[in-house]
Structure 1
Amino acid sequence: MALLTALSHAPDERPDALRVAGRAISGTDLWASASAVADRIHGLDRVAVQATASLETVVAVVGALLAGVTVVPVPPDAGPMERAHILRDSAAAAVLHAAGVEVDAGDLPRVPVSARDRSATRHREPADDRTALILYTSGTTGLPKGVLLSRRAIAACLDGLADAWAWTPDDLLVHGLPLFHVHGLVLGVLGPLRLGGRLDHVGRPHPERYAAAGGSLLFGVPTVWSRVHARPAAARALRGARLLVSGSAPLSPAVFDGLAALTGHRVVERYGMTETLITVSARADRPRVAGTVGWPLPGIRTRLVDEHGAALPSDGRAMGELLVSGPTLGDGYLGRPDADAAVRLPDGWFRTGDVATIDLDGRHRIVGRAATDLIKSGGYRIGAGEVEEALLAHPAVREAAVVGVSDAELGQRVTAYVVADSAAEAELIDFVARQLAVHKRPRRVHFLDALPRNALGKVQKSRLG
């Protein structure tokens, strides 16, 4: 079956089937424009794509996929060192970019892409084990690693989400996410092209643009949803939507509850990684609970283990590292067998490095990263996420991040960093102690103007402390 099933079998004839930053194209014209790109690069192994939020990026990506050429999206804001590393490490043979726009391609050939070009060529569908994308993901150390994502894995992920979210060709997907990550590119562009339905990428994800688009399915990261929540008129305009979906970082319970009041929707949270695509999600047909990410997608298995690899119970209390297996997993890191060995177990399980709990009914809650969010203090195992939720329940606290700081007596000291309107350290410590077990209270609270975050809104805890 074709990866882009809807586009290849029944391209949408409507002139606004796909819109990016105000410019629209029909499915038929997208196919013809992408075919023109495929004609030019057919036979190459890998190409880099300057992944701006533009029609040309979509045409370039689709064209490469039609030709069976692996796509390496390059963030448009990548610095010279990161860009050079991606181009060199991926062994891309050329750089595709919007016609008329300058791009730093190093020594590689430049291939300008225009949404006005057309071709009637029908390229043969590649094997489903062919690598479709190499997405670069940054860890806490070293240069980004390239993750190999096959056509099969992408198809399994999107079909699983169609099941979980009741995603159909009747949906209009609206978002403003970057086109070089799983969320914005795989789910946000390839999703409609496989499953059907229209797409409106609004450019920058301003709340008013989300409100004006009239979408039935809306994607955002917590930063986006926090901004929507802060603009009640825009939030109320989303009452006509079917699902609001959040991912890439935890959504605060305060924003979850606030959006429910303003929009009438309890946000769908889901969980995944670049290395695994989406593996767990809340469902359209089941109640959504703040701070939880739902159930495994079809074909996905999950389990919890302690630091020694021993199995932990799914009782809603035991916290352990989440392991996943199934058809959405990538094919490893490009040229990094050492990195693969650190996360892939011989029996097919992938070590996510995330700490989670699983309830008796199978609902998952992500506590945080094992390296930073499982705090061992005074003989207790404390989830940073639980303390953060308690802090965010205080009316003065707008943002919170909790880490473990080395302590000679406790092993690690629970330490909080907050953005708050007006609150005292002792007040917040006492507030948490009244909500949670006393040993989970922060021993110190530091006040900041803003938490350090990356482009997807994830708090960079390595910069705290």
Structure 2
Amino acid sequence: MATLFPALDALPHPDRTALRFGGRALTYAGLAAASAALAERIGGAGRVALWATPSLETAVAAVAALRAGVPVVPLNPKTGERELAHILADSTPALVLAAAGVELPAGLEELPRTDVPTDVPTDVPTEAPPGAGATGPEDTAFVIYTSGTTGPPKGALLPRRAVAATLDALEDSWEWTESDTVVHALPLFHVHGLVLGTLGPLRRGGTVHHLGSFSPEGVTAALAAGGTMLFGVPTMYHRLAGAVSGDPGLAAALTGARLLVSGSAGLPLHDHERISAATGRRVIERYGMTETLMNTSVRADDAASAPGTVGVPVRGVELRLVDEDGSALAPTASADGETIGEIQVRGPNLFTAYLNRPDATAAAFTADGWFRTGDMATRDAAGHVRIVGRKATDLIKSGGFKIGAGEIENALLDHPRVREAAVTGEPDPDLGERVTAWIVPADPDRPPTADELADHVARTLAPHKRPRTVHYLDALPRNDLGKIMKRSLHG
């Protein structure tokens, strides 16, 4: 297929900054040289794992692998031992890419390691070599692991076709050009930070400015230094909303940005209103999933969309709302802004399969090729989609992460002082939702402490999956079949 990075191959602006991470930066010429050198070394390697720290090396490695036609498995550096072992056993990477000097956990030390270069002289060849890796539109670009809602995380195979289609559709929706500099502090092991926030600017020929870690002060400085687009999750925008009324510099920086984009979960109306009141600007929202990349977005030229909508389907994506029996809602009901249906989508943005899970892949699609998202929504007469919740109750969106309740429950049940466990999400003004655990102790007189359980989950899975609230019960409510009735927990 056509190159994913025309600005790297043709180098129309070799001296333009491509990547900036804190005080470190690479021009397009520098990125072309560094990624070509790495592509030469890993071409034909098969799948490669990427230790996805928020660093220049992570971006260089992702670009190099894509230029070499090598599928990338991004790894969260905070992943716990069990989850990491599952991902490695499932994806079987041939080697791991990492920044030089970074210490890797025991599970990765067994793999051959390739350090990522960033200081390759720009007078060496900058074109990626014709490696053994395939670069057809259906060939896998990424294997990104989902939240593990009902068990261990599943690896979604994202083809090069889906990456290109999504980024080009957003070029249309957001009027995205090579003149834009995207500012963000998103993790680089999932779609939002890696595909949209890093590969998106590079495909357009623009600039990525990654803050390393989020702070209102960092956002202010980066936007004031020429940033034109800000990508964030609701937790970040919540903190900006809390600071902007008392910070003239932040207010001016947000006002001067061309586009403020929020995603990964719904942004509360109160935060929309506080930012708008202080800046006169709106935050636009978009909606996507690991398996689908981007489905909808508020368009840059759409001034009529109300806060809270995730916009209209992006170019090339078909979207329908279906009833509980899977039948499409009637045209009047699907455009009344009130009738709720499950979102199903199809288009070039979709993943191809779950790795090693033909059963899960088949269950995810309808007979006529629509992907079942599990998200419930309404749509108005103008086509604006509003997400109202999950079809299931086991997906928690906290701090920009999609967290599966099932895997946390399994981790809690491994604790020797836990007899029964259920996990739900509760509204949280900062995180969107907070992970809440409902515990039946093995010994009611010696229940494990909340801190002990949080540390156990953080060590087993990842810190952002730890329960932030713990309730202790004598028994969990169950139906006649023994299934836990989670809705009763909050009653």
Q: What amino acid is aligned across from residue 8 of structure 1 in structure 2? A: D
Summarize deviations over 1:89-115 as a string: whole Å, max 9, x none: 111000010011111314211111121
Who is 1:109 aligned against? 112
Paired residue for 1:123?
129
RMSD, aligned α-carbons: 3.0
- Does 1:278 pair with 2:294? yes
Q: Separation in 2 of the partners of 1:164 and 1:352?
A: 22
User: 1:219 is aligned with what amino acid?
Assistant: F
When structure 1 is superposed on structure 2, of 156-165 and 337-346 the one drifting more is 337-346
Mapped partners of 2:267, 2:467: distance in 1:
10
In structure 1, the partner of 2:81 is 80
**1:228 and 2:240 correspond:** yes
Q: Name the amino acid aligned to 1:218.
A: L
Aligned equivalents of 1:419, 1:67: Cα separation in 2 = 43
Assess, with a 3 A threshold, how the Cα gap between structure 1 residues 163 and 299 changes in structure 2: closer, same or farther.
same
- Equivalent residue letter for 2:148: G
1:295, 1:140 → 2: CA distance?
27
Distance 1:203 1:416, change over 3 A: closer
* Structure 1 counterpart of 2:392, from 363, 371, 374: 371
1:54 is matched with which residue?
A: 55
Following the alignment from structure 1 to structure 2, what is the Cα–Cα distance between the partners of residues 373 and 87? 25
3-state SS in 1 of match to 2:300: coil
Give the match's secondary structure for 1:272.
strand
Deviates more, 1:295-304 or 1:114-123: 114-123
Q: CA deviation at 1:208?
A: 1.0
Distance in 1 of aligned mates of 2:239 and 2:467: 15
Shift of 1:332: 1.5
In structure 2, how many angstroms separate the alpha carbons of the residues matched to 1:276 and 1:454? 26
Shift of 1:13: 2.7
Conserved? CA contact 1:249–1:458, under 8 Å:
no
Deviation for aligned residue 1:419: 5.7
1:133 counterpart (127, 138, 142): 142
The residue type equivalent to 1:160 in the other structure is: A
Matched, 1:321 2:361: no
The code of the aligned residue for 1:297 comes to: V
CA distance in 2, matches of 1:248, 1:146: 18
Three-state SS of the structure 2 residue aligned to 1:17 is: strand
In structure 2, C-alpha distance between the alignment counterparts of 1:363 and 1:42, rounded to whole Å: 43
Could you report, residue by residue, the CA deviation over 1:114-173 in whole angstroms, capped at 9, with x for unpaired residues?
211355153238212210000011132311110000111100000000000000011111
Q: Which runs of 5+ in 2 are unaligned?
A: 398-423, 431-456, 471-485
The CA deviation string for residues 60-103 of structure 1, in whole angstroms up to 9 with x for no partner, is: 11111111100100001111111121122111000010011111
**Distance in 2 between the 1:357 and 1:308 partners?**
17
Deviating 4+ runs (over 6 angstroms): 456-464
Amino acid at match of 2:116: V
**Aligned match of 1:259:** 275
Question: 2-side partners of 1:239 and 1:457: how far apart?
Answer: 36
Give the Cα separation in 1 of the matches to 2:222 and 2:233.
17
Q: Within 5 Å, give how 1:117-266 maps onto structure 2.
A: 117-118=120-121, 119-120=124-125, 121-124=127-130, 126-214=135-223, 215-232=227-244, 233=247, 234-266=250-282
Q: Which residue number corresponds to residue 441 of structure 2?
A: none
Structure 2 residue identity aligned to 1:270: R
Q: 1:77 to 1:354 in 2, by over 3 A?
A: same
Contact 1:223 1:457 in 2 (8 A): no
**Compared with structure 1, are the counterparts of its residues 341 and 213 closer, same or farther at alpha carbon in structure 2 (3 Å cutoff)?**
same
Conserved in 1, the CA contact under 8 Å of 2:98 and 2:115?
yes
The equivalent residue for 1:406 is none
Query: Please, which moves more after superposition, 16-25 or 92-101?
Result: 16-25
- AA of the residue aligned to 2:357: R
Residues 1:222 and 1:52: Cα distance change in structure 2 (over 3 Å): same
Cα deviation 1:205-247 (Å, max 9, x = unaligned)? 1111111112111100000001111112224421111100000
Name the CA distance, whole Å, in 2 between partners of 1:72 and 1:460. Answer: 32
> 1:278 offset after TM fit, Å?
0.4
Answer yes or no: is the 8 Å Cα contact 1:221–1:456 preserved in 2: no
Matched letter for residue 53 of structure 2 = T
Structure 1 residue 10 corresponds to structure 2 residue 11: yes
Q: In structure 2, what is the equivalent of residue 412 of structure 1?
A: none
Matched residue SS, 1:239: helix
CA distance in 2, matches of 1:54, 1:358: 39
Q: Which runs of 5+ in 1 are unaligned?
A: 375-383, 386-414, 422-451
Task: Tell me: CA distance 1:316–1:419, structure 2 relative to 1, closer, same or farther (3 Å).
Answer: closer
**Distance in 2 between residues matched to 1:250 and 1:76, nearest whole Å:** 26
SS in 2 for 1:203: coil
* TM-score scaled by length of structure 1: 0.80
Give deviations 1:364-394, integer Å, cap 9, x for gaps: 00011011299xxxxxxxxx99xxxxxxxxx
1:290 aligned to 2:307? yes
Aligned residue type for 1:122: A
Q: Which amino acid in structure 1 is aligned with residue 294 of structure 2?
A: I
- Cα distance, 1:361 vs structure 2: 1.3
Tell me which of the two structures has the higher relative contact order, counting C-alpha pairs closer than 8 angstroms and 6 or more residues apart.
2
**Compared with structure 1, are the counterparts of its residues 130 and 417 closer, same or farther at alpha carbon in structure 2 (3 Å cutoff)?**
closer
CA contact (8 A) 1:44 1:93 kept: yes
User: Residues of 2 paired with 1:342 and 1:316: CA distance?
Assistant: 29
1:459 and 1:263, CA in 2 relative to 1: closer, same or farther beyond 3 A? farther
